Amino acid sequence: MTGGRQGGRCGWRWWWAVAACWLGLIAAAAAAAELDDIRARGELVWGADQEGGGPHVYIDPENPTRLVGFEVDLADMLAAELGVTARFQQGQWDRLPLLLGRAADCVINGIESTPERARDWRCSRPYFAYALQLVARRDSPLDSPEALAKEGPRGPWRVGVLTGSAAEIEMRRRTDFAVEVVGYDGTVDCLEQLRGRVLDAALMDDCIASFNADRFGELRGIGRPFAGGTYTILTAPDTPRLSAAIDEALGRLITDGRLKALYDRWDLAGRQQMLLLRDAAEVPPARRGSLADLIRGALPLLLRSAGMTILLSVASFPLAILIGLAVAVGRLHGPAWLRPFLAGYVEILRGTPLMLQLYALFFLLPKVGLALPALVAAILGLAMNYSAYESEIYRAGLKAVPAGQFEAALALGMTKWQSLRHVLVPQAVRIVMPPITSDFIALFKDTSVCSAITVIELTKRYSVLALSTGRIAELAIVTALLYLAMSWPLSLLSRWFERRLERRSERSQA
Amino acid sequence: MIEVDSLAAVRAGNRILDAVTLAVAEGTVTTLVGPSGGGKSTLLRCLNGLETFAAGQVMIAGHTLIAGDHPPRALERVRRDVGMVFQGFNLFPHLSAIDNVTLAPRIVRGMPPSEARSRGLELLDRVGLSRFADARPATLSGGQQQRVAIARSLAMEPRVMLFDEPTSALDPQMSAEVLDVIVELARGGQTMVVVTHDHGFARRAATQVVELVAGRVHRAGPPAEILAGVGG
């Protein structure tokens, strides 16, 4: 008894220690590293996305362990100016600013100056000038960006952009264009889909279009670049001295010609860059609107994306159940030669990530001539992935039906399939109803993975809205409430099934 | 109606049945008795192909079963003419009593639902359960469930009925309800083979008693002869 109480107190002390450690870590992490911390550390950590591609930051094709790009060189030069060395930190492009103050001191990755970014982060003086280049296949009927105003032969033009980029903002702003905008996480994915005829055109920074010109020989630039802007280096809001030091360092690199030399080395028209940078005005920060305005503006978009989440779930889950049931029945009662294949199907789909499967369906199938629309690929991918889990549940359910049931059916002269259809499967379905409903809730949340293949559902919409408005916490709460509003009824349904089943088994025991 | 010739069955290296030969005439009742593990249930299950056997042959209701596996079609044809009632009832728990009875006639014989239902109700009436047509098996007593199971088997109009210890899972009162139904069937001229430990039933209804011991026919003959001096 005494020992037990002591043990309990000891346990409490341990928990307090853990809590204190966590609080300490959080406090340490909350303060962004200022210039002095960076100098003391001897390292400037810069965030970028190597998936974003060249010429900014990309993997050297000749030496895949090495990162190259004009921003890699720029980061090295800046760090040297600050008296430290540069260290790269990987992040997903549209979420790079979220690394600031935690995993990175600054973000250098083709981040365009926008009023919203100037409001939420510290933006350096411009270091590169870009314009937007429209790209299409050589055989495309498009002859200028203005031609997007009239619908194409297949309806609105499908135009690919990098999610969160200036190109996306420009395309969504241009209500005069008859376009359907499709967001990608990487430029190369986008260009592959353009080559595979899933897209009609793509809009991107001119330097990216030129960089990929050789690799995508069947594409061409449509008209001259338009709607330009400049890139800026982002730092955390509470690091004024770091931001000032970066501005000064950039100033020195511009005046003494080292930045021009860098751009010339990368075939980025150094002389013209200097001309543009000299003239580029600073972007004034945007005003932060009221929370009510924000929610009024965001809610319709979030609701529409919640509709997409629902569509993905209700379209894929019945399919998953049907495939899963067929696989389970095949594995238990099908011909012997079929069983190893079905077992393989289940193991492959259960043993690989859903994200990878969606990628294969969406980005690899077009290479063998089967270009699925993103929505179809998403529904099919979810259905196949979940069918593997469903089939295991059904298999357990079918095994849980007493052997006497099958015998009784056979003894009445039923065929194997009649016994399955009328006797075994209906009972198995009743047994596995609770795990299946809870699986539906899991699938419902897994739909967020579909954003990887350009389907904008609730989570993706949240992420885009949160980053463009800077209201990360407020919108997270609204989004979470929407998810709960949708999954709560499903939970209730699942519990109802369980209660009903318990009642029935109590009755049959009585 | 049934002729079993030199039947041998082996399970996991053990000889369960050994040179079993017996005949059942149409319209008669044969009870299989003997100690547990004597092979009674196995013999019964060989009669409708639920179990395979190693040697010998079975002729039943005009069909012939030989040693080894049979194509599913052949077994389905046998089972349409041979009904079976199990110790554990094995009613379909997701269906009401009447649906249990009408399922096989509808899907195996393609009987129209309305006809299947009216005949099903007649059968439930015969086993004294027409009031419970829409009840789920879980709400019925064991004796009632077994009577529904008998009606379910009869619905296929089998030429032979096999009973595998139909009352072992029941208390004496419920056993009596079920046995009354079986005796009634016997009076109606239904050919039956009944595995039972209930010698009282054997005396009352059997034409022939076959005693199986260690997989062999130990004795066979009329009940008065075989069960003389045996209690129960």
Q: What is the pLDDT of residues A338-360, one digit of tens each?
A: 999 999 999 999 999 999 999 88
**Assigned domain for B232 exists:** no
- Is A52 in the same domain as A183? no
pLDDT value of residue A283: 61
Inform me whether the pLDDT recorded for A156 exceeds 50: yes
* Residue B203 in domain: yes
- Position A3 scores a pLDDT of 43
% of chain B with per-residue pLDDT over 90 = 69
Q: What is the mean pLDDT of residues A258-279?
A: 84
Distance, CA of B196 to CA of A358 (rounded, Å) = 61
Any CB–CB contact under 8 A between B86 and chain A? yes
CB contact under 8 Å between A508 and B156, yes or no, is no
Q: Are A462 and A504 in contact (CB under 8 A)?
A: no
Contact A477/B at CB under 8 A: no
Chain B residue with Cα closest to A426: B94
Cβ contact B88–A404 (<8 Å)? yes
**Do A345 and A432 belong together in one domain?**
yes
Find where tokens 């008795």 sit: B33
Residue B46 lies in a domain: yes
> Could you tell me if B63 lies within 8 Å of chain A, comparing CB atoms?
no
Task: Say if residue A103 is in the same domain as residue A240.
Answer: yes
Give the mean model confidence (pLDDT) for residues A88-105.
85
Q: For A308-343, how does the pLDDT look when each residue is reduced to its tens digit (9 = 90+)? A: 999 999 899 999 999 999 999 999 998 999 999 999
**Confidence at residue A277, expressed as pLDDT on a 0 to 100 scale:** 80
**A412/B83 touch (CB, cutoff 8 Å), yes or no:** yes
A303 and A413 housed in the same domain: yes
Residue A16 lies in a domain: no
Q: What is the CATH number of the domain that holds A367?
A: 1.10.3720.10
Examine the domain organization and report whether A89 and A204 are in the same domain.
Answer: no
Chain A nearest CA to B202, separation (Å): 24
* Vertex A446: Cα angle to A441 and A448 (nearest 5): 125
Residue A322 shares a structural domain with residue A377: yes
What is the SS3 assignment for A493?
helix
Q: Are A456 and A357 members of one domain?
A: yes
Q: Does any domain span residue A23?
A: no
pLDDT reading at B192 higher than 90: yes
Q: Please give the average per-residue pLDDT across A500-509, as a whole number.
A: 58
A171 and A202 in a single domain? The answer is yes
ipTM, 2 dp: 0.93
- Same domain? For A62 and A143 the reply is no
Query: A413 at the B interface (CB within 8 A)?
Result: yes
Mean pLDDT of B32-43: 89
In a domain, A450, yes or no: yes
Residues A416-438 have a mean pLDDT of 89
Helix (H, G, I), strand (E, B) or coil at A206: helix
In a domain, B138, yes or no: yes
**Mean pLDDT confidence for B54-59:** 92
Tokens 């129209």 locate to B112
CB contacts of B91 in chain A (<8 Å) are 408
Which pLDDT score, from 0 to 100, does residue B232 have?
Answer: 45
Q: What is the pLDDT of residues A40-73, one digit of tens each?
A: 888 999 999 888 788 999 888 787 788 899 999 9
> Does any domain span residue A27?
no
Residue B157 sits at the chain A interface (C-beta within 8 Å): no
B79 touches chain A (CB under 8 A): yes
Mean pLDDT of A4-15: 60
In a domain, B231, yes or no: no
d(CA B225, CA A111): 103
Question: A110 and A251, same structural domain?
Answer: yes
The answer to whether residue B35 sits within a structural domain is yes
Q: What is the mean pLDDT of residues A216-238?
A: 90
Which residues of B are less than 8 Å from A410 in CB distance?
A: 50, 75, 79
Residue B108 included in any domain: yes
* CATH assignment at residue B15: 3.40.50.300
B168 contact A CB<8A: no
A414 contacts chain B (CB < 8 A): yes
Q: Whole domain around residue A504: which residue ranges?
A: 291-509
Tell me which of A14-28, B10-24, B170-184 is least confident. Answer: A14-28
Report CB contact under 8 Å: A412, B153.
Answer: yes
Q: Output the average pLDDT for chain A.
A: 86
In terms of Cβ atoms closer than 10 Å to its own Cβ (0-12, 13-18, 19+), residue B181 is buried
Indicate whether A52 and A156 sit together in one domain.
Answer: no
Which has the minimum average pLDDT: A185-194, A284-293, B98-107, B147-156?
A284-293
Domain extent at residue B126: 2-226
Helix (H, G, I), strand (E, B) or coil at B163: strand
pLDDT at A504: 60
The Cβ of residue A52 has, within 10 Å, a number of other Cβ atoms equal to 25
Per-residue pLDDT, A94: 81
B230–chain A Cβ distance below 8 A for any pair: no
Residues A447 and A346 in one domain: yes
Given this model, what pLDDT does residue A48 score? 92
Looking at the structure of chain B, the number of domains it has is 1
Q: Is A90 left (phi over 0), alpha (psi -120 to 50) or beta?
A: beta
pLDDT band for position A25 (cuts 50, 70, 90): low
Instruction: Tell me if B76 and A422 make a contact (CB, 8 A cut-off).
Output: no
Name the residue among A410, A416, A430 with its Cβ closest to that of B94: A430
Task: Name chain B contacts of A419, Cβ cutoff 8 Å.
Answer: none
List the single residue in A with minimal CA-CA distance to B162.
A411
What's the total number of domains in chain A? 3
The whole-number pLDDT of residue A506 equals 52
* Average pLDDT value for residue range A423-435: 88
Write down the mean pLDDT value for chain B. Answer: 91
CATH number at residue A57: 3.40.190.10
Question: Which one of B88, B94, B149 has the shortest CB-CB distance to A426?
Answer: B94
Which of A412, A425, A431, A503 has the highest number of chain B CBs within 10 A, making it the mutation to test binding with B? A412
Single out the residue in A201, A226, A251 at which a domain terminates.
A226
